[in-house]
Amino acid sequence: MATKLGPTPVKSPASGGAPTHHGPKGVGEDNKILSQGKWAAWLLAPTVIALGIVIVYPIISAIMMSFQKDAGLDPATGLFTAGGPAGIQNYVNWIAQQCSAPGGGTLACPPGTLGAQFWSATATTFFFTIVTVTLETVLGFWMAMIMARTFKGRSLVRAAVLVPWAIPTAVTAKLWLFIFAFEGIANKLFNTSILWTGSEWPAKWAVIIADVWKTTPFMALLILAGLQMIPAEVYEAAKVDGATAWQRFRMITLPLVKPALMVAVLFRTLDALRMFDLPYILTGGANNTTTLSILVINQIRQGFNAAAALSTITFVIIFLVAFIFVRFLGANVVEQSGATGKGKK
């Protein structure tokens, strides 16, 4: 990172025999550049230290914890004793859904333990991610197209669209909890008597609807930013050439907005994979709406070390998904900016 900050390569004045037009100032310039580097290091230090404390330390600590056993009860005293090293047992337990058996060893986790929910929680998390991100992309695109047009009251529409995004998720979840209550607005409005939070598919849809309502504006804004980068001339030229609206959308809008779109999808996907507060408040994780994050929080109350292993697994899953996005779908924020940097030169 630090080298990127230097405005020009350091070599020029000293190594090059022929001095530049700065001539006599050469040495001073060199010092200045060096001290600039030092300055940069000093200026960056607080950020690096802060990141180290709030990100690197917890991760390392969590990973180290995940290789420890959870405290067990000493039957003689009734007090907890430290568990000692566990190797990769915590990871094996989660992935193979094994729980401690009375009298030592492990057995397949009986229903009612958190261990029994690992794969169903993983499936639920991915199900929510795929469905919500797809819906949000489609709806967000549509909203962005509307907002990109010039019409009376455009700024009002743009502000209004942002409202759901501005409300904290926990508040959103409470609002939807009232809406989806048995005596709530949803049932009154449609004259139905669905137990929204009381059975599997209604509960899942309740979570999806609330999530889409909340995060579509985010998607729409990112896509809108991409749309506004497309010069109007391109459309005009296409119109002159006789392209239909559908052709303009497919051949111009879509390819040109793709970089912004992919970044938006990537962000939302990573976010959705960590989904916690919405299902936690709306359904409490009942009826197969337990996501990996909810499972981690529940496990924290039962044993830190197994929870550390689970959050590391969650981390790896999210990282893999992000990697696949970047590697195969070309959603790369950083590469993009690197390319433009080169272009400037």
Site residues (CB under 8 A) for another protein, limited to 289-318: 293, 296-298, 300-308, 311-312, 314-315, 318
Q: How far is the CB of 157 from another protein (least distance, A)?
A: 31
Q: Tokens in use for 314?
A: 């969650």
Q: Tokens in use for 200?
A: 């599997």
Q: Of these, 72, 231, 255, 330, which contacts another protein (CB under 8 A)?
A: 72
Q: Closest CB to another protein among 169 and 311? A: 311
Contact between 9 and another protein per CB under 8 A: no
Q: Of these, 33, 70, 148, 161, which contacts another protein (CB under 8 A)?
A: 70
Q: Closest CB to another protein among 63 and 243? A: 63
Stretch binding another protein (CB under 8 A), from 133-141, 190-198, 210-218, 237-245: 190-198
**What does each C-alpha distance from 264 to 219, 225, 232, 337 come to in angstroms?**
6, 10, 23, 16
Contact between 220 and another protein per CB under 8 A: no
Contact between 88 and another protein per CB under 8 A: no
C-alpha–C-alpha distance, residues 267 and 274, integer Å? 11
Q: How far is the CB of 225 from another protein (least distance, A)?
A: 19
Contact between 164 and another protein per CB under 8 A: no
Closest C-alpha to 133, from 227, 257, 216, 254: 216
Q: Closest CB to another protein among 80 and 142? A: 80
* Helices 304-329, 89-96: crossing angle, 10 deg rounding: 70
C-alpha–C-alpha distance, residues 198 and 202, integer Å? 8
Contact between 132 and another protein per CB under 8 A: no
> Segment 258-277, which members bind another protein (CB under 8 A)?
270, 273-274
Place of tokens 């502000």: 159
Stretch binding another protein (CB under 8 A), from 19-27, 148-156, 205-213, 322-330: 322-330
> Binding mask 224-263 vs another protein (x if CB under 8 A, - otherwise)?
----------------------------------------
Q: Closest CB to another protein among 158 and 274? A: 274
Alpha helices in the chain (DSSP H): 2-5, 12-15, 26-51, 57-65, 89-96, 118-148, 154-166, 169-179, 185-190, 200-228, 232-240, 245-248, 254-273, 277-282, 292-300, 304-329, 333-344
Contacts of residue 316, defined as CB under 8 A and 6 or more positions apart, other chains included, come to none
Contact between 201 and another protein per CB under 8 A: no
